[in-house]
Structures are given as C-alpha cells and as structure tokens.
Structure 1
Amino acid sequence: MEAVTGSPAVWVSHLSKRYRKRVAVDGVSFTVARGEVLGLLGPNGAGKTSVIKMMLGLVRPDAGEVMLLGRPGTDPRSREKVGYLPELFRYQPWLTADEVLTLHVRLAGVTVPDRERRDCLGLVGLADRATDRVGGFSKGMQQRLGLAVALVARPELVVLDEPTSALDPLGRADVRDLLLSLRQRQVAVLLNSHLIGEVERVCDRVLILDRGRVAASGTLAELLGRRTLRLRLSDVSDEASALLEPYEKAGDRYTVALPEDVPALVADLVKRGVRVHAVEPARATLEERLLDILRAHPEEHR
C-alpha cells in the first residue's frame, strides 16, 4: 500500500489496551501534524508509554487503528522514517558511540555517510566522544547518545519517551533547542515528559492522559485560556482609579485582559503618582491545569 499523501505524521484512532483486569489505555485518539511538536502528559500509570509502544508496533492493541507517515501502523514500512528514544534503553558497552550509530543506521536500512554520523553526535554534544566506548559514559551522556540514535537516520517523525530524564539543566536546554530545530525542518515530534516546564516551552499542542483516557488536549491557549497580565499597585488616587475601572480588581492587583494595553496604562498610572510594584503573568500554568485534572479524581491516584 502506498503512503497517503498530505496525511498527518501520526493518526491514532480509539486505541485501547487491557492487561488482564487492568485497563491501560481506553479509546485514545489524537494526531500529530507534520512539523508539529505534541507533548504527552499525565501521571505515572496514565498509559503514555503504552500508547507509544502500540503506536510503534511494539505492543499489539486490543482495538484501534494507527497511521504513521501515511501508512497503516501494521505495515513495517510505516516505521522506516521514525526515530525513537525509549524511556529505558541500553547500548552494548563495548561499542564506541560512532559504532552504535553505525549499527542503528544498518538496522534502519539507510545509508548515512561517516561525516553525517559525526555531525549527529556533535548535535547532541558528543562530537569529541565518538571513538569512546559507551560503557564509560555517564547516564547523561548515554541519554545524549540515545537522542543521536533517534535522529541519525533522517527521520520525518521522532518519538521521545522521557528524553531529558538524566540530563542536567544545560542538557535540557540543548534538547529544547534541538526540538525547535526539528520543528523548523518540518520533522514531527511526539514528546513524553514529566518535566512540564519543558513541554510548555517547546510544544505546539498538549495531550493529557489520565487513567488511560484523554483528559484534555489542545494548544496551550486552548488549555490555559488567554494570556493576561496582572498589575500590583499602590498609592492609587481617585483619578487613577477612574483609569482602572475597566479592569478586574483583587486586593492591590488589577488584571488586564489585553497585554498590549499594559505599556500605555502603566505610563498613565505613573504620571498620576501610582507606584507599580509588579507586572505579572496571570494565565494558569500547564502544571496547574494538569493538577486540576488529576484532583478531579483523587481516589484514582493514591
């Protein structure tokens, strides 16, 4: 079967999986567009890794359909241009970093020149460790190597399961830059991460799983609401109060729904002797939204 042109990178419909009496995944559906970064969030046991494994053909679903890069997920060719970093992985400790990449290029059935493999190691900060044996690598270095393996065969879709779990803050920043560069090259990314701040920084859309089901999905604006700003003020005169009448007031704070109004408003308030102590973002964070969803059914998370 030929690939369907113009199709999303990932199309998942009503995916379900049960392990004996436990329902791990229950009717999950979503898409990932070409060049889009989709963040997958949820507590431990929510079904995130099970969804990824079913999507990639590593676990057989009880029900549902998958399309990868325009081909049915049951077709091995659907995974030819997919890069994957699993949550738990190990490489042969006697191989060098370059030999690990060479092995995975051969397994993928593609030709990648030596220079391009070295460039891929450079992309993840391992350019000077190409000939070092993997057995001597730290956890963070192995994580970087795993990212290189996921990228070396020029994928059109990259699936990353906890890619920053062993990385320090600099390493996490490198991964953020890498994800943004993939998006610019129209490479689709499915990112499963417990680091909510990372998801909020790089993802175009977010899918939240809870107890095997889709609890919420959408862009950050759709999930969190319109971004607003909150002014913390003092010494507000009657004249200044008239300017602030259109805005919601809570104590010494005023919420401005249109951020573009803030510069002129602050300038007018300062002219009238108002002290502006802070201009703060007022939109809920992704972490707060996630916690609201989980707290709706606290008995399920004990």
Structure 2
Amino acid sequence: MIQVENLQKTYRTGFLMRPKKALSDVSFHVPRGVIYGFIGSNGAGKSTTIKLLTGLLRKDAGKILVAGFSPDSAESRKHLGYSPEQPYFYDYLTGRELMRFYGSLCGLAGRELEERITWALTLLNANKDWVDRRLRTYSKGMMQRIGIAQAILSKPELLILDEPMSGLDPVGRKDVREAILSLNRDGVTVFYSSHLLSDVETISHRVAMIVGGKIVREGTVDDITSNASAEYHIHVAADIPTQDLPAGVSAQGTTPREWICKNAEARDHFLEFCLKSGLSIERIEHQRPSLEDVLTEEIARAEH
C-alpha cells in the first residue's frame, strides 16, 4: 500500500538558509491490510515523512508510491484519508457542519452523506451533543475525534494519522484504538505516528523506528524487542553486600535481595557468584525490553 525507497528531504532554515537534513535514505514498505506504527523522538522526521506521503511536501530524492501512485497525483488521494497532528478547521462551524462540508468534497450527498456522518461519529464515540456546537468551543480531544472522523468519511483504503491519540484522555485513547482496529478488520490499511508507545505495542502489526532522519529498526514488535538487550531480574534468599557484586548487576530499589542483570553475560556471572557464595536463587525473571526501552537505547546510541 505504501512503498518508500531511499527518501531524502532537506530543509533550509535560519537567516542564512543553511540546509538541515530531515530525512536520509529512508526506506520502508507498508503491506495492504496492516496497522503500521511509525515512532521516533521529536524532530526525528515522522511528520515530515507523513507530509511527503500525503503530497503536502515534495521530496528531494527517492521514491514514494501510495496505493501505486505518486503522492503528487490526485489519483493517490482517492484512496487516502488523512488527519494531521494539529488539525485546523474553520472554528465557526459546528462539528456536524464540518462533516457535511468534507463529505460533500468526497462526493457524498443527501441520505448517504448523513448515514456516513453518523457512522463515522459513532465509530469514534463522537456522536454526542457537543458535535452540534461550534468547533471553537472544542477541547483538544474533541478536535482529535472530529479530525479522525472526517478522515474516514470516504471509507478510504489507506488511513494516515499523525499523532491520533495526542491530547486524548484514557477513554479517548481507548476509543481511537478500537476505531483503528475496527477499520483494519474491515480491510483499511492504517499508517500512524505516535509517542504513546504502549498503544503502538498493543495494536500495530509492524513498526518502523526513525531516529535522526534514518530508519534504525523495522519489523514486528516482537522482532524489534527480541533483538534488543534484555534484563534479568534475580531474587535471592539472603542479603548481598553491594561491594561484592559482579559488573553489570545493580540493586532493584532498596531491597538487597532483588537484583537486575543488564544482559545475559551479567546474569551468568551473578549466578556463578551466588553459587560460590552458597546463596539460594528464589526466582529469575526475563524482562524483555519495551518499544520505549529500545527507542531510548537507539536515541542514546545516535547521540554518541
């Protein structure tokens, strides 16, 4: 559904218009029918990539195909629904009037339009009394729901969302997650960026991690986290003096019977130490890193 190869983008900033590389040889492929998470730190290139996919920016080099078409062509937009991170709408309209306006741009009218509006609002749990109030009175969360609702009015094959859960409370995040999953079950491919990595782990089939304008990891959540360093939490039956510990082992909290081994090598040395000291092991817990742990590790590696 999305093909990106060797994508490059440079901005010119400041008084002297010095070039600043935003994307460098970015490549990834989004298969049809998947939920694809796009994660990274602020300024890593997520929004730039999304704007290139939607035709809002022009690339410097590389290849982009969206549903088999260049983002510059009107044909690609027939297959696409899009909600930006900070949607801006004419704030004297009500939410329902906004939906009617965008529905008409999609070629909907009459009863079909009203039924599609009801469907979209209901899916986002936004079919409330506030939908008939002016947009200028909306909270960030209400605006996010309306933004996503207008993006799905045309029932697109591909839905691109930039930080769709930003500004939402826990209930709102749950509603958006369930809406994404429901759309995907109906065959919609979803490409979205998010800082809420626990949500990304929960719903994504595949994930790309971008750091400093480069893709550093790509694959399923299991692929990404299983290839990262894992911690081992070991609980022993007696206190251990901290000065006797092998390298790579630290106390968990203030309890001298619970220890964290940073990797398998530290685990093995710690177990050997416990065996020689006559200490009984109560249990060992293998703690696989989360996406947040992996991303933090990649950012730290890039900074050094």
Looking at structure 2, the residues matched to 137 and 281 of structure 1 have their Cα atoms a distance apart, in angstroms, of 45
Look up the SS of the partner of 2:93 in the other structure: coil
Describe the shift of the 1:280–1:142 C-alpha distance in structure 2 as closer, same or farther (beyond 3 A): farther
Q: 1:154 is matched by which residue type in structure 2?
A: K
Looking at structure 2, the residues matched to 191 and 46 of structure 1 have their Cα atoms a distance apart, in angstroms, of 15
Query: What's 1:260 paired with?
Result: none
CA deviation profile, 1:123-175 (whole Å, cap 9, x unmatched): 21221233222222111111111110111110111111011111001111111
Q: Do the aligned partners of 1:160 and 1:191 also contact (CA within 8 Å) in 2?
A: yes
Query: What's 1:113 paired with?
Result: 113
Describe the shift of the 1:231–1:22 C-alpha distance in structure 2 as closer, same or farther (beyond 3 A): closer
Query: What's 2:21 paired with?
Result: 23
Look up the SS of the partner of 1:113 in the other structure: helix
Query: What's 1:128 paired with?
Result: 128
Query: What's 1:11 paired with?
Result: 3
- Could you tell me which runs of 5 or more consecutive residues in structure 2 were left unpaired when the two chains were aligned: 13-18, 239-250, 252-256, 262-279
Query: What's 2:296 paired with?
Result: 291
2:146 pairs with 1:145: yes
Q: 2:43 is matched by which residue type in structure 1?
A: G
> What displacement does 1:217 show?
0.8
CA deviation profile, 1:244-272 (whole Å, cap 9, x unmatched): xxxxxx987899xxxxxxxxxxxxxxxxx
Q: 1:47 is matched by which residue type in structure 2?
A: G
Looking at structure 1, the residues matched to 121 and 177 of structure 2 have their Cα atoms a distance apart, in angstroms, of 16
TM-score with structure 1 length normalisation? 0.78
TM-score with structure 2 length normalisation? 0.77
Looking at structure 1, the residues matched to 119 and 172 of structure 2 have their Cα atoms a distance apart, in angstroms, of 17
> What displacement does 1:19 show?
1.0
> What displacement does 1:46 show?
0.9
> What displacement does 1:276 show?
7.0
> What displacement does 1:95 show?
1.1
Looking at structure 2, the residues matched to 18 and 117 of structure 1 have their Cα atoms a distance apart, in angstroms, of 39
Number of residue pairs the alignment of both structures matches: 259
Q: Do the aligned partners of 2:233 and 2:286 also contact (CA within 8 Å) in 1?
A: no
Looking at structure 2, the residues matched to 229 and 294 of structure 1 have their Cα atoms a distance apart, in angstroms, of 19
Looking at structure 1, the residues matched to 41 and 231 of structure 2 have their Cα atoms a distance apart, in angstroms, of 30
CA deviation profile, 1:40-90 (whole Å, cap 9, x unmatched): 111111111111111111001111121111223232111112111101222
Describe the shift of the 1:223–1:297 C-alpha distance in structure 2 as closer, same or farther (beyond 3 A): same
Describe the shift of the 1:285–1:132 C-alpha distance in structure 2 as closer, same or farther (beyond 3 A): same
Look up the SS of the partner of 2:103 in the other structure: helix
Q: Do the aligned partners of 2:4 and 2:64 also contact (CA within 8 Å) in 1?
A: yes
Look up the SS of the partner of 2:28 in the other structure: strand
Look up the SS of the partner of 2:142 in the other structure: helix
> What displacement does 1:232 show?
6.0
Q: Do the aligned partners of 2:2 and 2:65 also contact (CA within 8 Å) in 1?
A: yes
Describe the shift of the 1:230–1:116 C-alpha distance in structure 2 as closer, same or farther (beyond 3 A): same
Q: 2:58 is matched by which residue type in structure 1?
A: R
Looking at structure 2, the residues matched to 191 and 213 of structure 1 have their Cα atoms a distance apart, in angstroms, of 17
Q: 1:67 is matched by which residue type in structure 2?
A: L
> What displacement does 1:225 show?
0.9
Looking at structure 2, the residues matched to 231 and 281 of structure 1 have their Cα atoms a distance apart, in angstroms, of 7
Looking at structure 2, the residues matched to 296 and 154 of structure 1 have their Cα atoms a distance apart, in angstroms, of 41
Query: What's 1:37 paired with?
Result: 35
- Could you tell me which runs of 5 or more consecutive residues in structure 1 were left unpaired when the two chains were aligned: 1-8, 237-249, 256-273
Looking at structure 2, the residues matched to 162 and 219 of structure 1 have their Cα atoms a distance apart, in angstroms, of 20
Q: 1:125 is matched by which residue type in structure 2?
A: N
Look up the SS of the partner of 2:298 in the other structure: helix
Identity %: 34
Looking at structure 1, the residues matched to 291 and 72 of structure 2 have their Cα atoms a distance apart, in angstroms, of 34
